[in-house]
């Protein structure tokens, strides 16, 4: 690859394509937030924009952290976060009926960090596991334990969405690590059997309600079903080209609840239509595909599993959020990364991207050598 001599090497060597893609998504998110505030930078778009570029800078900085640091930090970080989750359970602040927050000067939500860290921890475990052991029982139970402990703690908060994402991230790493396929098929079948039982005996009433209402939103159009109904109305009324920037009625007249956070996609779709929605979905698919490709090109087992796992974590965010706002999944409180207002998810996703860029940097250094 020939490079221009005018642009200094360290700048030219940045992964510009992915940065451009991420900035495009983030900027679009700020435009949507500007509209959601009724055509105002306050209270959301400006602070979100500042935070976005600060965190993006942090992600670029993180990308210089070498792979071996991630490798050695994986399990300690995991232990720290599990301890934090236990602390949350013991002393955490209750907000909106669930105990998710740890107040240490700034409010921290440890479960949010578990999403990337579970990927790192599982990748580290399979990295340490000799190849021979992959298809034995010893390859499964420690990973299952690694996933099960934080998932159980998070589910108890209760935060079903995050717990499922943590499970998903871990299981995907197991899958990529080569755990026998029949286990996943069997697991899927077991899940199909267990789901109704869990639905009746494990879920909280409000969670059960959400699932029931997801199955039939019109049954409760004024309370819990209201979110899904209004979100579908916003998306459906947007049509092909949308109602135009700043012309959304569902969001501007407050019919759409959480139009700047979890349901920001509906706000966007109302004004930008199917075209805007598909472009956004495409951008996310490109980001995820880049992440998976980073994994394909990685040289070490840890890097491969980590990269593909983190890409999948981003994918889960997007897929669950979109399925939720389109009425394909129950309302579980997973925001749309880079677009929804709020810092936790944005931080997590940019952390994932930082690690992915770090692996990417290593890959390119190896290929240049």
Partner 1 sequence: MMRRSPKMVTEAMQTYSFSRRAWLLGTAQAGVGLLLAGRMGWLAIAQNEKYNLLAESNRVNLTMIPPRRGWIVDRHGAPIANNRTDFRIDIIPDRLEGGDAGRDRVLALLARLLDLTPDDVERIRIDLDGAAGFQPVQVAENISWDRFAAISLRQPELPGVAPTRGFARAYPAGAAVAHLTGYVGAANAEQFKKTHDPLLVTPGFKLGKDGLEKQLEPLLRGVAGAKRVEVTARGKVVAELPTRADVPGKTQRLTIDAGLQEYAARRLGTNSGSAVVLDCRTGEMLAMVSMPAYDPNSFSDGISHLEWKMLSDDDHVPLMNKVTQGLYPPGSTVKPMNGLALLAAGVGAHDRIVCSGALRVGTGIFHCHKKGGHGPLDLKGAIEQSCDIYFYEMIRRQGYDKIAPVARMVGLGQKFDLPLATQRYGTVPDSEWKLRKYKHPWTVADGLNASIGQGYVLANPLQLAVMAARIASGRALQPSLLASHVHLDAPALPVPSEHLAIVRDAMYGVINQGGTGAAARLLVPGVAIAGKTGTAQVRRITMAERRSTGVIKNGQLPFKMRDHALFVGFAPHDNPQYAIAVVLEHNGHTVRNLDTPMIARDIMTYQFDRDRAMKALADVEPTWGGDIGTRMAAQAAAYRAAQSPPPAANATKTDATVPSDSDAVEAATDLANQTQAAMAPVAVTGDAEPADASDPSGRTQP
Contacting residues toward partner 1, per CB under 8 A: 131-132, 134-137, 140, 172, 175-178, 180, 230, 232-240, 249-250, 253-255, 269, 273-274, 277-278, 281-282, 284-285, 288-289, 292, 295-296, 301, 304-305, 308, 312, 315, 319, 322-323, 326-328
Least distance (Å) from partner 1 to the CB of residue 367?
Answer: 16
Please say whether the beta carbons of 287 and 310 come within 8 A: no
Least distance (Å) from partner 1 to the CB of residue 320?
Answer: 10
Q: Where are the alpha helices (DSSP H) in the chain?
A: 9-12, 16-36, 45-62, 67-91, 110-128, 141-155, 160-177, 181-201, 205-215, 224-238, 249-252, 264-297, 301-325, 344-368
Least distance (Å) from partner 1 to the CB of residue 348?
Answer: 18
C-alpha distances in Å from residue 230, one per residue of 30, 38, 218, 266, 353:
22, 18, 10, 9, 32
Residue linked to tokens 């993006």:
56
Please say whether the beta carbons of 273 and 241 come within 8 A: yes
Q: Residue 84 or 262: which CB sits closer to partner 1?
A: 262
Q: Residue 297 or 343: which CB sits closer to partner 1?
A: 297
Please say whether the beta carbons of 348 and 108 come within 8 A: no
Least distance (Å) from partner 1 to the CB of residue 277?
Answer: 5
Least distance (Å) from partner 1 to the CB of residue 242?
Answer: 9
Q: Residue 172 or 351: which CB sits closer to partner 1?
A: 172
Least distance (Å) from partner 1 to the CB of residue 61?
Answer: 27
Exposure string (b/e) for 39-78, b if CB count within 10 Å is 16 or more? eeeeebbeebbebbeebbeebbebbeeebeebbeebbebb
């Amino acid at each position: 690859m020939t490079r221009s001599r005018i642009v200094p090497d360290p700048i030219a060597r940045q992964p510009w394509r992915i940065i451009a893609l991420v900035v495009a998504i983030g900027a679009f998110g700020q435009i949507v937030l500007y509209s959601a505030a009724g055509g105002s930078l306050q209270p959301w778009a400006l602070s979100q924009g500042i935070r976005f570029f600060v965190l993006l800078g942090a992600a670029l900085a993180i990308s210089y952290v070498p792979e071996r640091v991630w490798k050695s930090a994986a399990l300690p970080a995991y232990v720290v976060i599990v301890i934090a989750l236990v602390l949350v359970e013991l002393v955490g602040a209750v907000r909106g009926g669930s105990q998710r927050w740890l107040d240490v000067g700034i409010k921290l939500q440890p479960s949010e960090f578990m999403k990337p860290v579970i990927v790192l921890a599982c990748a580290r475990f399979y990295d340490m596991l000799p190849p021979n052991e992959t298809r034995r029982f010893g390859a499964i139970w420690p990973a299952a334990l690694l996933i099960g402990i934080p998932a159980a703690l998070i589910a108890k908060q209760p935060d079903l969405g995050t717990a499922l994402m943590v499970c998903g991230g871990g299981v995907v790493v197991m899958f990529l690590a080569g755990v026998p396929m029949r286990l996943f098929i069997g697991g899927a079948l077991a899940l199909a059997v267990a789901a109704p039982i869990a639905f009746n005996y494990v879920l909280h009433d409000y969670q059960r309600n959400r699932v029931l209402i997801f199955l039939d939103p019109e049954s409760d159009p004024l309370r819990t079903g209201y979110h899904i109904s209004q979100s579908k109305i916003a998306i459906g009324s947007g049509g092909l080209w949308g109602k135009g920037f700043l012309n959304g009625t569902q969001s501007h007249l407050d019919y759409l609840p959480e139009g700047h956070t979890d349901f920001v996609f509906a706000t966007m779709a109302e004004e930008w239509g199917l075209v805007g929605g598909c472009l956004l979905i495409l951008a996310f698919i490109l980001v995820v595909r880049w992440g998976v490709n980073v994994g394909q090109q990685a040289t070490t087992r840890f890097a491969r599993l980590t990269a593909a796992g983190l890409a999948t974590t981003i994918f889960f965010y997007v897929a669950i959020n979109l399925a939720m706002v389109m009425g394909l999944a129950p309302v579980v409180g997973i925001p749309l990364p880079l677009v929804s207002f709020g810092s936790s998810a944005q931080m997590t996703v940019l952390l994932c991207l930082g690690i992915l860029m770090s692996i990417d940097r290593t890959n390119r250094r190896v290929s240049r050598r």
